[in-house]
Amino acid sequence: MAAGGMNGGGGTGDPGGGGPEDPGGPAGPESLGGPGAADGPSAAHEEVSALLAAWALGADMPGDDARVRGHLHDCAPCAAEARRLRETVRLLDEPAPGGTGRKANAGMARGRLMAAARAARPGQGLPAAHAAPYAGAVAGLDALLRELDGDPARWGTPVVHDWDVQGTVAHLVAADEVLAERLGLAPVTEAGTGLGPVSGAGPEGFGPSAGTGPGGPAAGRAAGAGAPWELRWAARTHEVVAYEHTRPPAETREAWRTQAHGLLALPEAGDEQLAALATTLMGLRLPVADHYVIRAFETWVHTRDIGRALGRTVPSPLPVHLQRFLGLAVRILDLALGPDARPVLLSVEGEAGGDWVLGSDAEPIAAELVLEATDFLLLIGGRQDPDEIARGQAGDAAASQRLLETATSLAWL
């Protein structure tokens, strides 16, 4: 599959060429529309904000430097963000004493970040419909993580499994990496065991469960280049989470953001025809468009996990994005049930809902099941059990229960 959007992945030029040591303007709140955000949520502000990572790395394009500098003098949130990015670049450029330790490969890491930053330049238009849910989920998680800037200790808050906030973001780095590498983006983390890309790896939801944990040491030891994708995925998750815990949380967050923005800048994110090409990831052969939806779904699930751990309410996705989640979830659930399952009429309530008949086409509907959209998605995502959700039910109880249990089995945790 054509990748596109990648240039100069090994560059190690002077980061100072892309911007001044002092980005300009007093530091201020990083939320859009806060004091000092002269452009507010305007298109110009959004475009310059998306350029900051490339600018800090010296990977910006001709003409961008003056544009970014001018904006930073008037926008305190972007100036603060630029300072943070420049500090990350400084850490990457700082030599390790004796050439050992986590900064020993700083040049390689910086080159990877430069490649991804170049790919992350804002495109000519908005993401296509299939990538819009991912863009929304990325923006939601980024906004939530910004709240930790004033209280870095909260990055250690337990979230899910044995992951804290930093570990959960690191897990997303590993999860997004599978699609990113398939589409040609360079890795944004130095973590690695020489296993190569995890060509079948998959995230929470929409995939078969291996019955193993999310990546403990035993899974890492068992995995090898020829191991089943479930074990390779568990090993990759474990090594990335472990590696990212050797770095400051800000660097983990920046690696995730760089990769996410790189995915959104690829041609496949904006071109429905390119995204219609199929590729096999997480054991499923699906169009690239569907893999973007899966990335959005997992990002939303983990944003919700982090929000709950921090005592923050995370809004539900937009109805149009929920429709994408539901449509794909129902298609995969129908495949998992198989053509011999007794047919069930599934009605999902809400603005994004709909009605689907799942199971055999050869016999009359045996049962009707009514669920709320978020409950159904959290069931698919492994965040609720069938007995925990409210539902309306009529007809063959066994057929309905089989559908619910099959939905739960799709969670890859």
Whole-number average pLDDT of the chain: 76
Which among 334, 361, 332, 356 has a CA at the least distance from the CA of 345?
Answer: 356
Which among 285, 187, 189, 277 has a CA at the least distance from the CA of 229?
Answer: 285
Based on the fold, state whether residues 288 and 356 are members of the same structural domain: no
Residue 401 belongs to domain spanning: 320-409
Q: Where are the alpha helices (DSSP H) in 57-200?
A: 64-74, 76-93, 106-119, 132-146, 165-182
Based on the fold, state whether residues 154 and 237 are members of the same structural domain: yes
Q: Tell whether 217 is covered by a domain.
A: yes
Based on the fold, state whether residues 40 and 147 are members of the same structural domain: no
Q: CB–CB of 307/157 below 8 Å? A: no
Based on the fold, state whether residues 176 and 279 are members of the same structural domain: yes
Q: How many CB atoms lie within 10 A of CB 77?
A: 25
For 31, 32, 135, the CA distances from 41, given in Å and listed in that order, are 10, 6, 16
| Three-class DSSP category at 373 | helix
Residue of 215 and 285 predicted with greater confidence = 285
Is residue 5 scored above 50 in pLDDT? no
Q: Tell whether 404 is covered by a domain.
A: yes
Based on the fold, state whether residues 134 and 265 are members of the same structural domain: yes
Q: What is the largest CA-CA distance in the chain?
A: 73
Task: Provide the residue count of the chain.
Answer: 413
**Counted domains in the chain:** 3
Band (pLDDT 50/70/90 cuts) for residue 28 is: very low
Q: CB–CB of 408/383 below 8 Å? A: no
Enter the DSSP assignment of 204. S
* pLDDT of the residue at 364: 94
Q: Tell whether 48 is covered by a domain.
A: yes
Q: Tell whether 159 is covered by a domain.
A: yes
User: pLDDT tens digit string along 171-207?
Assistant: 999 999 999 999 999 889 887 644 344 444 444 455 4
